[in-house]
Amino acid sequence: MPPFPMLRGRFLCTQSSTFFFNQSSGGRRRPQWPIKQVTKSNFSDSLDEIKNHISNSDFVAVSLQTTGSYSSPWHRVLPLDTPETAYLKAKYAAERFQILQFAVCPFNVRVSNKLTVNPFNFHLFQRDELKIGAPCYSFSCQPSYLAAMAREDFDFNVCIYDGISYLSRAQESEAKHQIGSSVSSAFVAQTSSSRSVADNVFVERIKSRVGHWISACKHSDTKTDDALVNSLRKLILGGDEYGSRPSLNIDVCSERQVQLVFEMVKSHYENVVPLTIAAKGGGTQSVRVVLTSSKEDRDLLEKDLKNMEEEQSKRIRGFREVIELISTSQKPVVAHNSLNDFTFIHSKFISPLPPTMDEFRNSLHSVFHDIRDINHLMKEVGPINKYTNLPSATSYLKRKFFAPVEIDIPQKASMEECKNHGHNVVRISELFARLCFILKLNPETVNQNPDGPLLKLDSNMFNLGSNGFQETDDISVWTHNPRKISINNLVFLWGFRSGISAGKLKNMLCKSHDVLSEDEVFDVRLVDKNCAVVVFWKNGLSEWFLDAIGSGSGDGLRELAAEGLMAAGYEAYKRVCKSEILGADLAASLAEIDRDHIEESAEVYWNSELMINFDDL
């Protein structure tokens, strides 16, 4: 029971009602908020605008419109998923589908519950603008998603003809190599591992060479030699000029050596700036060190280089500039269904998704240090099961709580219905404001108080779906019985008649063995029409059951097994989630994995050590 006053007060007549609710073509009511629609043509103008808004805001809400989210019913994140399998499923979707719209809404919440929002909706289409091979070779579409967008009058032509293109960080660095972007001072120094003997020899050699070159340069400054001597010196030292400053090229054989040169230069020579020179095909060809006359001169050079690089990358980055703005602003990012959205964001704008949840969390944290999930906050307020979509969550809060929020949209934008998309991002902001009010969180102080109550939610923001059987409404029986279950007690079952009900399946199992005929031993739920999951309420039974089905001990079970009934533990499910193709039918995928599993049984023991217990999480 939430410790909040359950005021059934009428929602105060606020300004939000001044934005008219129009009867849209689909017959649904849709709020008419002026949301700035951004395409290729007005992108650069909007970029400055949103930059200001982001820096003036407390939070940034984001919401995506993608071409699909799951290929098959079981690909959705189910209550039986661990954070790991949930991540793998989200990763699978993020790698296949594409983002068509990205709504960003910097907003402020004031104590008076005045919500100031500046919603932008970016139309995206990733294409090969630099002609260096498509950054996105192909993507999947789910017709039902496209059809739903079409019903909302989404303009696919605008999106494809005028959508803003972009490159992820990883694609950008690759593209820079390919187009042979000449210089780059931003060499990301990795944590230096221990140096080998060869490394030390190399560093010493380069150090003395740079030292000689510097003294030679300084020496030549004082005396004016004739041209021949100068050119000879150039030839011997390998020196050159970078702009008006003297420079020296150092050939390198590997990225490791690049790193060594950078480290050496930075620690030994104060007024020398190292740059990487990319080879045509990729990789670094050489390092150029530029000598500056003073500390001021060095700063000047570094600034110049930085500006130059920024200009160039702005062209390459495209829409990712907005992501970078949000990232550098360090403002908390508010999302609904953050796991799905941020796997997409990571894979499209940062780099390919790492294989595990932990790596993903770390990598994402380095870009967005603070992510707030509306779904998670909703859980603090009450049972979330039924309020999975934004309008229903909002109306739930309106019904149950007194939380007036006044929405103010200072910007002007076209209210033309067919062109006005991206309302969810305003809904997210509104919901967040309401939740702050209900949870008595003061959004204004959040930023000053890093230990505020909101931050602690982050730690488990991706643990949605990990809390046993209480997430989605299709497992309604178990919502009455929200017990935490170890995944060791789950068994997947398939090979029964397609379309059979869970009840019938349970009956069948009850009759098959004495152990199973007792009350409260196990329960059955369908995952899809060909696969079910059995949960055993007692530890150890699942192993017995798997064994019994496998060996055919016990008459009833043997009969079922003979009829084609198959079973596998959670390990098989995890392996399916990890595989390249999840498969439309879970039963078929489990059977496939199970077959391979038998052939390489050595892995079973190794993996059983790594089993996750729900209770441990």
Partner 1 sequence: MVRAFSRTLTLVQFYRPSRTAFSTASSSFAIKNVTKSNFDSSLADLRRHVRDSDFVAIDLEMTGVTSSPWRESFEFDRFDIRYLKVKDSAEKFAVVQFGVCPFRWDPTKQSFIAHPHNFYIFPRQEIGGDDSSYEFLCQTSSIDFLAKYQFDFNTCVKEGISYLSRAQEDDVRLQLHSAHEDEPSETPYAAKEFKDVPLVRMADILFVERMRNKISEWHDDLLQIRNGGSHRTQEDSNDSIDQFQTIFFKTRPAIKLNGFTSRQLRLIKSVVEKSFKDLAYIRVNVGLCFQQIIVYTNSRRELELLMNEVKESHFKEAEMKIEAAIGFRHVIDLLSSEQKLIVGHNCFLDVAHICRKFVGPLPSNLEEYVPLVQKNFPFIIDTKILLNASNILQLKMKKSSTSLAKAFAILCPHIASGVDSFGSAHNNSVAVEVQVDDMRSSNWNSGAKHEAGYDAFMTGCIFAQSCNHFGINFTSHSTLMKEDKLQNYINLLYLSWSSGDIVDLKTGQTRTESSSLNGFKNQQSKILFPNIVLIWGFPSKLKAREIKESLTKVFGLTSVTSIFHLDKTAVFVQFSKPGLVSDFLKLKSTIEKKKNDAIYVLHPFSDLLEGGCTGAACYEVYKEICGSPISKPLFADQAEAIAVNLNSKRLESMTHKTDSFSESESAIDTKTAETTSEILDLASC
Catalog residues that contact partner 1 under the rule CB under 8 A.
67-68, 71-73, 98, 126-128, 134, 136-144, 146-147, 149-150, 155-157, 159-161, 281-282, 499, 503, 579-581, 584, 596, 599
Q: In angstroms, give the least distance from the CB of 595 to partner 1.
A: 9
In the bound state with partner 1, the residue whose beta carbon lies nearer, of 42 and 142, is: 142
Task: Please give the distance of CA 527 from its chain centroid, rounded to a whole number.
Answer: 26
What secondary structure, in 3-state letters, does 464-533 show?
CCCCCCCCCHHHHHHHCCCCCCCHHHEEEEECCCCCCCHHHHHHHHHHHCHHHHCCCCEEEEEEECCEEE
Q: How far apart are CA 186 and CA 50, in angstroms?
A: 26
In the bound state with partner 1, the residue whose beta carbon lies nearer, of 170 and 455, is: 170
Q: In angstroms, give the least distance from the CB of 254 to partner 1.
A: 11
Q: In angstroms, give the least distance from the CB of 197 to partner 1.
A: 17
Tokens of 389: 């979509």
Closest CA to 325 of 36, 119, 50: 50
Q: In angstroms, give the least distance from the CB of 542 to partner 1.
A: 27
Q: In angstroms, give the least distance from the CB of 546 to partner 1.
A: 22
Specify the 3-state DSSP secondary structure of 119.
coil
In the bound state with partner 1, the residue whose beta carbon lies nearer, of 174 and 324, is: 174
In the bound state with partner 1, the residue whose beta carbon lies nearer, of 138 and 194, is: 138
Closest CA to 502 of 472, 478, 482: 478
Task: Please give the distance of CA 173 from its chain centroid, rounded to a whole number.
Answer: 19
Tokens of 295: 């500390």
Q: In angstroms, give the least distance from the CB of 151 to partner 1.
A: 8
* DSSP letters spanning 454-467: TGGGGGGTT-TT-S
In the bound state with partner 1, the residue whose beta carbon lies nearer, of 104 and 524, is: 524
Q: In angstroms, give the least distance from the CB of 575 to partner 1.
A: 11
Closest CA to 134 of 96, 171, 92, 179: 171
Q: In angstroms, give the least distance from the CB of 381 to partner 1.
A: 23
- Phi, psi (deg, nearest 5) at residue 303: -65, -45
In the bound state with partner 1, the residue whose beta carbon lies nearer, of 146 and 457, is: 146
Residue indicated by tokens 């694609």:
171
- Length of the chain equals 617
Q: In angstroms, give the least distance from the CB of 579 to partner 1.
A: 8
Q: In angstroms, give the least distance from the CB of 516 to partner 1.
A: 21
What are the residues facing 146 on neighbouring strands?
Answer: none
Q: How far apart are CA 488 and CA 542, in angstroms?
A: 7
Q: In angstroms, give the least distance from the CB of 144 to partner 1.
A: 5
In the bound state with partner 1, the residue whose beta carbon lies nearer, of 137 and 605, is: 137
In the bound state with partner 1, the residue whose beta carbon lies nearer, of 141 and 546, is: 141
Task: Please give the distance of CA 419 from its chain centroid, rounded to a whole number.
Answer: 28
In the bound state with partner 1, the residue whose beta carbon lies nearer, of 149 and 305, is: 149
In the bound state with partner 1, the residue whose beta carbon lies nearer, of 95 and 309, is: 95
Q: In angstroms, give the least distance from the CB of 587 to partner 1.
A: 13
Helix (H) or strand (E) holding 87: helix 83-96
In the bound state with partner 1, the residue whose beta carbon lies nearer, of 34 and 282, is: 282
Closest CA to 457 of 567, 545, 377: 377
Pairing of strands 114-117, 406-408: parallel
Amino acid at position 433, single letter:
A
What angle is formed at CA 566 by the lines to CA 563 and CA 569, rounded to 5 degrees? Answer: 160
Tokens of 136: 């996105």
In the bound state with partner 1, the residue whose beta carbon lies nearer, of 19 and 156, is: 156
What are the residues facing 385 on neighbouring strands?
Answer: none
CB 527 within 8 A of CB 492: yes
Q: How far apart are CA 468 and CA 476, in angstroms?
A: 12
